[in-house]
Amino acid sequence: MSTACLCGAVVLVAGVLSAGCGNESRGIDDNGRDARDGAGNDTASTDTGSGTDASDLADAGPCGPMIWKGSASANSMAEIEKLHGYNRITGELDIDQTTLVNLNGLESLRCVDGMFSVDSSNHVLKSLDGLDNLKRVGTLKFQSLFDDFNDISALSSLEEIAGDMVVDTLWLPTIDGFEGLKKIGGSLKLSSFVITTTLHGLENLEQVGGGIYLDTLFIENVDALSNLKNVGSAPNIGSFFFINLPALKRIGGLTGLTHIPGNVTIDSAPVLENLAGLDNVEEIGGAFDLNTTGLVSLDGLDSLASVGSRVSLLSNRKLRDVSGLCNLKDVGGELTVDECDSLTNLDGLENLSSIGMKDPASNLHIDGNDLLENVDGLSGLTQIGGNVHFIGYNPVLKNLDGLDNVTHLGGNILYIFYNPSLSNCEATGFRDRMKANGWSGYVCIQGNMPDTCPDDTSGCGMTK
């Protein structure tokens, strides 16, 4: 191949950037010309960015005239010097196993179209000083920022992340340094923060185009998200996953939200006592899962009218009251109330008229609730689109009066078993009403309180 074919191209060899047919790396304009004139002075380029994996930041405003075409790394002073003076990198900027303690020398850099990634697992990098003027990146990924790394305040000018913001394994006490960040085009993913107890630094974040994922953090609240107005840029995109948050006490910072297009999952939050902060949310487009929390009530959900997929209350052993769902009218998927050992009734769900009408494979599932005496709170329920699979192992459940108004059962399974305080005639009476309305399917009624009505085990063992 002719040597001339490589002229003007940026080539990465052995981790060092060089420009073909030249002695040093240099920017190039739209026509492939050197972006510096013969005397070494900068000349303007109007390049809009077409490097490998470049993100479309056309609406991000001018980044500056000096453009580095392609990707780069900044792991040594030699690489820093090659990037010195450039305003924009059209590809990725990678900082991994660097020999530097900071990034001084990159003060001119304003935009990285691709991913900006930092990994300080070699315990050398101490801060991001030098990136004080960075305003836009395509994706931000920080991982393995150990206790040697102690300062991200240089990112205070960062205003927009076009894609995801991912921070994994952080030993900083705070994430101060993102005060200028207003928009994340993708998702916000924060995980494995070892000593961070607050999200302080995200107070000006207004929009997240994807979801918010908080996993294994020791934060006590999400107050820093109080200016967040929009989550999710398309239907079913824009979820909240709050998982393994052992110190989370409140979620009051979410009051700016009225609609969540995707899922809401709160799992393993043992000291969270209520949901104040979701007060203005009227609709959840996906699933709503509250699992293994310290919730005592569902206060804070008073505005919620519709959930597109399932509602799951699982292993909330302190939950005594579900009246916070008093305005809930429709659950598109299944309704699960399992192992809520302090719950005595379902009062507050009287406005719920249908479950499972969007998913015929969904279930009404009420299982293993030690103190549940009745399901009277379901008295407004008329349609179950899926199965009753199952109502079981509720030791003090006495009747099924709350299901008296159900006229439609769309699935083919009806299991009511091992409720020792529930008479068999209560269970078979519900079966007979469904059959009178034209239903047919698999029935398993056994292990309830014996009376004059025999068990019906004809469908036991069937799963669909």
H-run or E-run covering 290: strand 288-293
- Torsion sign (Cα): 59, 61, 66, 72: negative
Q: What's the pLDDT band for 13 if we cut at 50, 70, 90?
A: very low
How far apart, in whole angstroms, are the C-alpha atoms of residue 145 and residue 381? 51
> Going by C-beta distance under 8 Å and a sequence separation of 6 or more, which residues neighbour residue 335?
310, 311, 352, 355, 356, 363, 364, 365
Query: Is the pLDDT assigned to residue 12 strictly greater than 90?
Result: no
pLDDT value for 463:
61
Q: Give pLDDT, residue 235.
A: 59
DSSP result, 141-207: EEEEE-TT--B-GGGGG--EESS-EEEEEE--S--TT-TT--EESS-EEEEEESS----TT-TT--E
Residue-wise pLDDT for 220-269, tens only, equals: 999 999 999 889 876 557 899 999 999 999 998 898 899 999 999 999 99
Report, as an integer, the average pLDDT of 356-378: 96
| Residue with token string 């000083």 | 129
Cα separations (Å) of 395 from 209, 399, 447?
46, 12, 11
Return the residue matching tokens 């990146």: 137
Banded model confidence at residue 273, pLDDT cuts 50, 70, 90: confident
Residue 170: pLDDT band (50, 70, 90) is: confident
Q: What is the pLDDT of residue 11?
A: 30
Is it the case that residue 427 has pLDDT exceeding 80? yes
pLDDT, average across residues 12-36:
34
* pLDDT for residue 173 is more than 80: no
What domains are defined for the chain?
305-464 (3.80.20)
Sign, Cα dihedral of 416, 420, 425, 426:
negative
Hey, which bits of 341-386 come out as E strands? 354-355, 363-367, 383-384
Of residues 333 and 122, the one with the higher pLDDT is 333
Does 292 score more than 60 pLDDT?
yes
pLDDT of residue 464: 54
Closest CA to 177 of 118, 243, 231: 118
Q: Is residue 327 predicted with pLDDT exceeding 80?
A: yes
Percentage of the chain with pLDDT > 90? 71
For tokens 């991913």, the residue is 115
Q: How many Å apart are CA 119 and CA 437, to the nearest integer?
A: 63
The stretch 82-106 carries a mean pLDDT of 94
Contact (CB, 8 A) for 90 and 113: yes
Confidence label for 123 from pLDDT (cuts 50, 70 and 90): confident
Q: Which is higher by pLDDT, 326 or 175?
A: 326
Written as one letter, the residue type at 272 is L
pLDDT the model gives residue 21: 33
* pLDDT of residue 45 exceeding 60: no
**Mean local confidence (pLDDT), 432-460:** 96
Q: Which pTM was predicted?
A: 0.83
pLDDT of residue 185: 95
Token digits for 222?
């999400």
Residue 43 has pLDDT above 50, yes or no: no
Q: Is the pLDDT of residue 176 over 90?
A: no
Nearest Cα residue to 10 out of 24, 2, 202, 1: 24
Q: What is the mean pLDDT of residues 423-428?
A: 96
pLDDT reported for residue 17: 32
Task: Compute the mean pLDDT over every residue in the chain, rounded to the nearest whole number.
Answer: 85
For 142-153, write each residue's pLDDT tens digit. 987 766 777 889
Does residue 65 surpass a pLDDT of 60?
yes
Contacts 24+ apart (CB under 8 A), 158-161: 158/134, 159/135, 159/183, 160/60, 160/135, 160/136, 160/184, 160/185, 161/136, 161/137, 161/185, 161/186
Q: Quote the CA–CA distance of 390 and 385 in Å, as a whole number.
A: 14
User: For residues 86, 68, 135 and 102, what is the CA-based torsion angle, rounded to 10 degrees?
Assistant: -60
- By DSSP bridging, strand 16-19 and strand 10-13 are antiparallel
CA distance 431 to 296: 34
Rounded-to-integer distance, Cα 192 and Cα 18, Å: 37
Position 161 pLDDT exceeds 80? yes
Residue 236: per-residue pLDDT: 58
- Asked if residue 438 has pLDDT above 70, the reply is yes
Give me the long-range contacts of 118-121 (CB less than 8 A, separation at least 24): 118/142, 118/143, 118/145, 119/95, 119/143, 119/144, 120/95, 120/144, 120/145, 120/146, 120/148, 120/149, 121/97, 121/146
Q: What type of residue sits at position 179?
A: E
Q: Look at residue 272 in the predicted model and tell me its pLDDT.
A: 95
* Mean pLDDT to the nearest integer, 285-306: 96
User: What's the whole-number mean pLDDT along residues 321-325?
Assistant: 96
**Least confident range of 195-204, 299-308, 430-439:** 195-204
Residue tagged 């185009």 (tokens):
209
- For residue 48, the model assigns a pLDDT of 33
The pLDDT, as a whole number, for residue 33 is 31
Least trusted range by pLDDT, from 17-26, 165-174, 298-307, 313-322: 17-26
